[in-house]
Amino acid sequence: MLKRVFIANRGEIALRVIRACRELGLISIIGYSEADKESLPVDLADEKICIGPASPIESYLNIPSILSAMEITHADSVHPGYGFLAENPFFVEICNASRITFIGPSPDNLRLMGDKSRARTTITENRLPVIPGVDNLIDIEDAVKKAKKIGFPVMIKASAGGGGRGMRVARTEDEFRIYWPACQQEAKIAFDNPSLYVEKFIERPRHIEIQVLADEKGNVVVFPERDCSLQRRHQKLIEETPSPAVDASIRRKLQKIARKICRAINYRSAGTIEFLMSGRHVYFMEMNTRIQVEHPITEMITGFDLVKNQIEIASGERIRYPRCFVDFAGHSIECRINAEDPEKNFMASPGEITGLVLPGGPGIRVDTHIYRGYKIPPYYDSLIAKLISYGRTREEAVVRMQRALKEMKVEGIATTIGFYRKILEHPVFQSGRYYVGWLEKMQEESKNKDMGSSLS
C-alpha cells in the first residue's frame, strides 16, 4: 500500500481524496495555490505546501513546482483528481521516472484515449460502433468536403480535448464556414492544438456513460450507466443513474462494449466510456481516463468507493468484486451547484459566502469544500458543491432532490440552485424524456414566453 499521497488539485475533489486517504490510513499532502490558502482541503489535509500563485499555469499546471513539492514532502504517489494534470501523459512519465506512483492509468492509455483520432481507430478496429466522422482536420476547404460527404448537420470538435471547448453544431455549409475558425481558435487556446474533427450530428440523442474499474491483474468490472444528457453548452449539469431511457438489454450491451474497450487497450485504474444513444442504437464517443465529477451517483447505488478503489489499484491490489458487471439498487441524481448567475447568462459569481445551509436527511449527500466566510476565488472552475440524492425509485430520488434544493442556501454569491429547482419541476424532466439539447430549447422557449408577456 502507498503511504504518502500528494493531491495535485483543489476544491471538492481534493477534499474527496483526503477523506479516502484517511479511511485507508494514508498521509494526505495537499499542494495549494496562494488563492487557496484558506480552503477547507488545506485545513483538513495532514500536510500542506504552497505550489505557486493563484494562476493555474503557475500552480496546478506547473509541473516543475509540483514535482519539487512532492520531493520536499517525500510523497510516494500523486492523485490528480480531474482537470488540470489528470490526463497529461507527460506528467505521468515524469512521475514514473521520479519513482512516484501516479494514481491513474498509464501514459500509453492517456495518449491513446486522449487522441480522438487514435481512439476512434482503436474502437473501429475492434468492430465496435462509432459515429461516422473524420479526424485531425486543419484546412477549412478539406473539412468542408469531408462534412458534405458525412452529410449535414455535423458536429465540429477539438481533436485534443473536450468539455465543450472548440465545439459547434453546423447545420449548413455556411454555418460550417462561420464556426470553423472560431472552433480552431478555441482549440488552440484550450489545448494548444488547432486540429479539429467532424462527426455526424445525431438529433436528440442521450449522453450515456459507463464507469469502469480495471486492475493490473487484468480484472475489469463494469458499472450501470449514468445519464448525462442534461447539459448547457456541452457542460454537464445534472446526472442520474440508472438512465430513464436504458433498459436491461441496452445496459448489458453498453457494459459489454465498455469491458471490451478496456481489455483492448489494457486499461488500468478508474475510467469512464461515453456514448451517444439514438433510439436503441449506441455509438462510442470518447473515454475519460480519470475519475469523473459525477462518480458519487454510481457510488450511491452500488456501495463502491471509487476513489479508494483508484488508490488500491495503484497500490497493486486486485479489485475485490466477484463478477464482471456490478449489481445496483435504487436511483441517484446529482446536481452540480455552480457559483454562477443564471439571470446573467450564467456569469461566474466569485465572492464571500456570508451564509450557508447544507441540506441533509435520508438519502442526501453533499460533496463540497465551501463554508461560511469562505471566499470563492475567481481563477478556477465555478463548481462549489455536488448535491446528490438517493431513493429506492427514481420518483423518490427526485422528491428528495427537490427537498434538498429547497433546504440549501448559499448567501453572498449567485448560484444555480434556483435554476435546478425549475428543471426538476418541469414535466419533461419528471417523465425522463429529456435529451441532449433539451435544456437550451427549454430556456429559449421560456425566454420567448417572458418576452411575449412583457410586450403584451
The catalytic site residues sit at: 290
> In whole angstroms, what is the distance from residue 333 CA to residue 292 CA?
14
End-to-end CA distance of the chain: 69
| 66 to 52, 78, 131: CA distances (angstroms) | 9, 10, 39
Of 303, 412, 399, residue with least CA distance to 359: 399
Dist. CA 427–CA 232, nearest whole Å? 19
What does the CA dihedral 48, 352, 423, 281 come to, rounded to 10 degrees?
A: -30
Q: Give the distance between the most distant pair of CA atoms in the chain.
A: 70
Is the distance from CB of 405 to CB of 429 less than 8 angstroms? Answer: no
Helix (H, G, I), strand (E, B) or coil at 123: helix
Residue whose C-alpha cell is 494514508: 26
For the chain, how many helices (H) and strands (E)? 15, 23
Decide: 34 and 54 in contact? Cβ < 8 Å.
yes
Please report, to the nearest 10 degrees, the dihedral formed by the alpha carbons of residues 177, 181, 182, 183 taken in order: 90
Name residues whose C-beta falls within 8 Å of residue 213's C-beta, 6 or more positions apart in sequence: 220, 221, 223, 269, 270, 304, 306, 309, 313, 319
Q: How far apart are CA 447 and CA 436, in angstroms?
A: 19
**Residue 211, strand partner residues:** 272
* Rounded Cα gap, residues 62 and 49, in angstroms: 14
| DSSP class of 34 | G
Which amino acid makes up residue 96?
A: N
**Among candidate residues 37, 136, 51, 39, the one with its CA nearest the CA of residue 85:** 51
Q: How far apart are CA 432 and CA 108, in angstroms?
A: 38
